[in-house]
Every structure is written in C-alpha cells, then in structure tokens.
Structure 1
Amino acid sequence: MCLEHLTRTWLPPTRPLLIECESDSAAGRQWMMMSLEHLTCGWLRQLLIVLLKLCLAFAGPLRSLNGTECAAKGPASYILVFTGHWSPQAFPKQYPLFRPPAQWSKLIAVSHNRHFRLWEEGATASTGVQIFAELGLTVELMKEAKDARKGRAVGAMYRTAGIPNGIGHSSTELLMQPRSSLLSLMVKMIPSPDWFVGVDSINLCEGNQWKQEVTIDLRPYDAGTDSGFTFSSPNFPSSPQENITKITSQMPNHPANSFYYPRLKELPPMASLRITRQSGSPDRQTSMSNHILPNSISPQRFSVTPLDCEVSLWSSWGLCLGPCSRGGVRHRTRYILLRPANAGTPCPELEEQAECVPHSCMKLQ
C-alpha cells in the first residue's frame, strides 16, 4: 500500500520530474514522466522494509555466550550425575569428621540463555547466591530464577537431594531446549563459611547438534560474603562484600586456610559432573530425577594429598635447673598444630634443652 497521504502531510507540494530510463526493447531509449510524490512514496516503502528487517533481526533467537546460536531442531534429554570426591585422603587438612561431618547440600541447576547468570566468577554474589552459599537454602535462589523465567531468560530449574557424606552421588534428568541451551549449577560444601562448587553457563549445544556427553572436574569457590578461613569458622560477614573467587592450594595465602596446601600446584577435584544425553524421544522417557545410577558410575581415583606436620612456635626458655656453673640445663617446648597424613613431613622435636647461663640459674634446695 502506498503511503501517499503521509507524503502529502510531511512533504511540500510536488512537481513533475523527468526520469530517463533505458528499456530492453528495440525502441531504445524512452522518456518517462514521474511525479516526486510517487518517488517519495517508493522511498518510504523501502524505508519501512528496512526498519521491519531490523526489528525482526533484534527480535530473533538469542545467541549464546560464545556468539553462536543453538540451531538444534528440538529438545534433548540428559542425565546429570554429581559425584563428590571430598575425602580425608584427598583433603586431609582439618577434614570435618563431626558436628557436622563433611557433606554436600542440595544441587540446584538452571537452564537458561545468555541473559541470565546464576553466578559468575569475579562478580558479586546475589542475595540468593549468598544465602545458598552460607546456609544451603534454595528459596531465594529459586525465586531469582523464576523471576528471570518470566522474561524468558530461564528455561527450567532442577534440584537434587543432598549427599550426607563427602563421597557420594546424586543425579537428575534435564530437558534442554534450543532457546535455553546453557546450564549453570551450584552445590554448597557443608560445613563451610560460604564455599561451593559449580559450573557457570556451559553450553550443551554446538551448532545444530546437542553434545552427547560432558564431564567436568569441580573445585571450590568462595562466594565472598563470609571471611572465615576454615570449614568450621563462625559467621563473620565480609564488609564490604567481595567478589566470587576460586579457592586454590595457595589462595587465600594463609596457613590457617583449610585448603592451604603449598606443596600442590592445584587442588584435587572436590567433585565431578557427568552429563550424558539419553537416546530416543525426550517425551517418551521416564523421569529419573534424583535417581542414583550405581552400576553406571565407576569411582574416580585421585592421588592422595600429603599433609605436612605443623607445630607451634617455641615457648620461652624455662629457669635453669642444676648447678649454675656447669651441668645445669634449661628447657623449652612446642606443640603439634596439625598432625601429618598421607606420607607428609613428620613432626619435628617438641622439646629442646640448652646449657644454663648464670642469670637464669635456680639453686636446688
């Protein structure tokens, strides 16, 4: 439809134009008379077409983090298996044995697109992430995901039961859609100030194909909301709040840190993920949420972590016992802070003696 009424409103009165055109006929050149009104109407039509194309481009399918769009034709069903490897052999320092013993919280997973982040290394933790990392409560974190789902940034949310030991399995079924092919998840370490393991925005779609299997080793993160150094540290809020950071064998660089293993280049994996695509139609498969698959899981073997003995500083020298001139001795002691494990450096001597000096003599009665 020509928008002549718009051109009459917006443009001044028109006058005829002569436009020279070259025809395909044997007659050769032809002259045409066209009004500026009709020419303007054609330009407006082209402008509307361009604007329509731009609108469709911006309203098109969302692109994933790596800049490629998931072009899979349909959904894909996966089984996600979380395996904890938090053992006293791999992590002997201050390993929690009671009140409470080492264990894992519920797993919370979210499928989403590039407009949502459950958590992000180097960024500040949201309120939901803070509550989950400190207390293991999922209500606020799930609320944040539900709010994002209203804007179509989140596809689905999943939870699994917790694991009562440091070593164990939990699993759930995932139904991934092309419009939300990214997956993020978190699991809190219990006990800990605000430590967790997880993944941020892994893409299960590659081009027009869903990936068949993804395996990932997981290492601990600090949510930056609590300043505790050890598994059993009391609640001590970080002020100001810090960013989410990865915990390494030397960061935080403090001997009191439960993950401080200066002899290691990197920490062993605390847990691992295996995400396996199921064959067949997702609509006809039986739900396997929170179903443990013991026969299909082969336990991973990691080398044990050597733990060196740690001792206190020496006490002050005691008074000299015995003759002040010759034969008298004085003593000092220290005690064990951390016993060695897994062929770590043994403890040194805990008592030392030296010859008396005259000003510290004490005559025996």
Structure 2
Amino acid sequence: MMAILLPVCRLALLALISGVCFMARLVAPMPLPTDTPTCTAAQSAQYSLTFTGKWTQAAFPKQYPIFRPPAQWSPLIGVSHSVDYHMWRRGDFASNGVREFTEKAEAWTLMKEVDTAGERIQSALGIFSAPAVRGGTGQASAEFEVFARNSYLSLMVRIVPSPDWFVGVDSLDLCEGDQWRENVSMELYPYDAGTDSGFTFSSPNYETVPQDKVTQITSSFPSHPANSFFYPRLKHLPPIAKVTLTKVKKTNQIISLLVEPTQSNQLPTDNEIEEKHIRTPLDCEVSPWSPWGLCKGKCGDSGVKHRTRYVLLHSANHGTACPLLEEEKKCTPDNCL
C-alpha cells in the first residue's frame, strides 16, 4: 500500500509545483524602483537661501497693485525633508495648511502638517522662515541645514495681494550621490492653489467649490481677459521671483526650528537692476460699443448718430494704442413730421 501511495504523492507534488511555476509566469514580479536618488553624503550641509522678488510694473503692467496693499511678498516658509513628503505639488489638491497660507499668509496649520508628516514617515523635517519683502522687488534671506535622510527642499511665498497665488519650490534635491550641490539658482513663476476663484490681484474672497488642483499660471492660462497675468502676446511670462541657494561653511551654531529671521535686504540688488530692462507690452483694452444714439438733424436733411466705448485698460510699454472711442454715421432724423 505504501509503495502505491508514494508515486501518487510524487505526482501531486509535481502538479502543485508546476501550477505554482505557471502562475509565476503569469504574474510578473514588481520591479524595484531604480529612479529614486539616494543621498550618501556622510556629513550634513548648511545653506544660505536668498529670495529675490522681481515683480515690477514694467514686467507685469496689467493691474499692477499700487496701493491697498501695494505689490509685496509674504514671509517665506521652507522645509527640508525626505523624498516621501510634499509640502505642495503641481496637479495635486492643496492641503488646508497650504490653503490658509496662500489665501491669508497664515502658516500655523501648515507647520502642524509638517510636524505630523515628520512623525508619520519617521524622517527628520526641519522648518525655517525668511521675512516678508515689503515691495514687488527686494530680498529676504535665511539659513537652513540638510542631512542625507532629508536632502530635499520645498518652500512657498504668497503673492500679496492675490486670491490664492504663490511662488514656490517642490522637492528640490540638494544632494548628488555623496556630494552636496554648491550653488543652485531657480527662476520662480506664479501658481494658483485652486482654493479661491478670483481672477485679479484684488479679487474678493470667493471659495472655489469644488476645490481645484494646484496649477501654474501662464500668460494664456487661465484664458480669461480679466486675469491679472493674462498676456496673450507673450509666449511665456517673465519670472516673477528667484531663489538662490549657496552652500556655506558649517558653523557650530544650531539652527533652531522657526528661528526669528535676522537677515533682510529691501534695497535693489544688481540682479534686480539688470531685470528692469524687461518691459512687457500691454495692449489697450476697450469696452464693446454702446448702442447707436438718436439720429439728430434737420427734417428733410441727412442726420448723424453716434456710439461710444470706453477704455478698460490703457496700453503700456509700447503696447497697441487705444482705438477710436467714438463713431458716427449718417442717418435719417427721427420724429420728423
């Protein structure tokens, strides 16, 4: 009996193995990620960050905010983090913290979100800040430290005034293999957080329902003539700000969480002076024609009637001049007996 059972068991075992092998051929193994960079730097690095506002009336003449409030920038909020964290991301929905920061420049909820993420992913995240820039142009500076396990940088600065517009950096890796990058310079362009539906810098607060995703604002998007950044003659908007990072010699100073910013320079820099040659042409915009007025003239003679339109936006920087604002044509006088 035992001699009969052994061949049967062998056949069953072979069938089981064969089935497993067949299923293995059907289900391909999941490939291991190979495109995620890994920082192997032995030491941490300290960086000096300089934010430069380049928001000038010459470069952005349309609806440029002159007062209540004038063009300016909120304080900068930055974080050094690991690859599995995002403060904000183009194409994703903004968090509540990002909403509050981009609409009101309030950062407490955003900082709490960073703390919670740090506890969840068990990775060191360091928050730092830089002071506000009280003008469209000017500079603000800060220093921060990065380690191999949190070699990425993200930051945000709110455009003031605006509905929910900001500039920022999403997950810039400062490490290349076992070396830290010495210098990095990035031009910044406006983004819409997708939480407020205003088109202009001074639009009233009007919540976007349902919430949109974070999108980049361009010279043609949103495609609406009321949009403060709508310049259909431009292929690309000029950069509205810039961030420069420089690796500095480490000191024994311990960079604390949210240290009070001490470095700020509101005076024009050489870079800003160079940028003043950027002059974006702004075409004149006029309203539609009014209806034709009454035909005026002597009975029996040819009369004249008029229609008018008014200037919505004056031209600037050699843009197309305004057309005629009044037009007339001949007519037969009204109410003639």
Pairwise TM-score range, normalised by the shorter structure: 0.7 to 0.9
CA distance in structure 1 between the aligned counterparts of 2:191 and 2:185, rounded to whole angstroms? 19
Aligned CA distance change for structure 1 residues 201 and 234 (closer, same or farther; 3 Å): same
Q: CA deviation at 1:164?
A: 1.0
Q: Is the contact made by 2:54 and 2:241 (CA closer than 8 Å) also made in structure 1?
A: yes
Choose the corresponding residue for 2:314, options 339, 355, 364: 339
Aligned CA distance change for structure 1 residues 191 and 212 (closer, same or farther; 3 Å): same
CA distance in structure 1 between the aligned counterparts of 2:254 and 2:127, rounded to whole angstroms? 19
User: How does the TM-score come out when normalised to structure 1?
Assistant: 0.77
Q: CA deviation at 1:303?
A: 1.6
Q: Which amino acid aligns with 1:345?
A: T
Provide the residue aligned with 1:83 in structure 2.
Answer: 52
Q: Which moved more, 1:149-158 or 1:221-230?
A: 149-158
User: How does the TM-score come out when normalised to structure 2?
Assistant: 0.84
The DSSP-based 3-state class of the residue aligned with 2:112 is helix
The Cα offsets for residues 23-56 of structure 1, whole Å up to 9 and x where unpaired, read as xxxxxxxxxxxxxxxxxxxxxxxxxxxxxxxxxx
Provide the residue aligned with 1:316 in structure 2.
Answer: 291
Q: CA deviation at 1:325?
A: 4.2
Choose the corresponding residue for 1:188, options 137, 158, 172: 158
Question: Is 2:297 the partner of 1:328?
Answer: no
Instruction: Tell which has more relative contact order, 1 or 2 (C-alpha 8 A, sep 6+).
Output: 2
The Cα offsets for residues 290-327 of structure 1, whole Å up to 9 and x where unpaired, read as 41367986334152100000000000111111134434
CA distance in structure 1 between the aligned counterparts of 2:152 and 2:211, rounded to whole angstroms? 28
Aligned length: 299
The Cα offsets for residues 96-138 of structure 1, whole Å up to 9 and x where unpaired, read as 1111111100100000001210000000000000010111100
Aligned CA distance change for structure 1 residues 308 and 178 (closer, same or farther; 3 Å): same
Provide the residue aligned with 2:23 in structure 1.
Answer: none
Q: Is the contact made by 2:131 and 2:264 (CA closer than 8 Å) also made in structure 1?
A: no
Aligned CA distance change for structure 1 residues 220 and 295 (closer, same or farther; 3 Å): closer
Provide the residue aligned with 2:324 in structure 1.
Answer: 349
Question: Is 2:221 the partner of 1:251?
Answer: yes
Q: Which moved more, 1:303-312 or 1:147-156?
A: 147-156
The percentage of aligned residue pairs carrying the same residue is 49
Provide the residue aligned with 1:106 in structure 2.
Answer: 75
Aligned CA distance change for structure 1 residues 285 and 73 (closer, same or farther; 3 Å): same
Provide the residue aligned with 2:264 in structure 1.
Answer: 292
Indicate the RMSD between aligned Cα atoms, in angstroms.
Answer: 2.3
CA distance in structure 1 between the aligned counterparts of 2:207 and 2:187, rounded to whole angstroms? 29
Q: Is the contact made by 1:321 and 1:362 (CA closer than 8 Å) also made in structure 2?
A: no
Provide the residue aligned with 2:14 in structure 1.
Answer: none
Question: Is 2:70 the partner of 1:95?
Answer: no
Provide the residue aligned with 1:115 in structure 2.
Answer: 84
Provide the residue aligned with 2:179 in structure 1.
Answer: 209
The DSSP-based 3-state class of the residue aligned with 2:319 is coil
CA distance in structure 1 between the aligned counterparts of 2:285 and 2:149, rounded to whole angstroms? 53
Provide the residue aligned with 2:43 in structure 1.
Answer: 74
The DSSP-based 3-state class of the residue aligned with 1:172 is strand
Q: Is the contact made by 2:78 and 2:128 (CA closer than 8 Å) also made in structure 1?
A: yes
Q: Is the contact made by 1:108 and 1:187 (CA closer than 8 Å) also made in structure 2?
A: yes
Written as runs of structure 1 = structure 2, the 5 A alignment for 1:32-51 is none
The DSSP-based 3-state class of the residue aligned with 2:252 is helix
Q: Is the contact made by 1:318 and 1:332 (CA closer than 8 Å) also made in structure 2?
A: yes
Provide the residue aligned with 1:131 in structure 2.
Answer: 100
Q: Which amino acid aligns with 1:179?
A: R
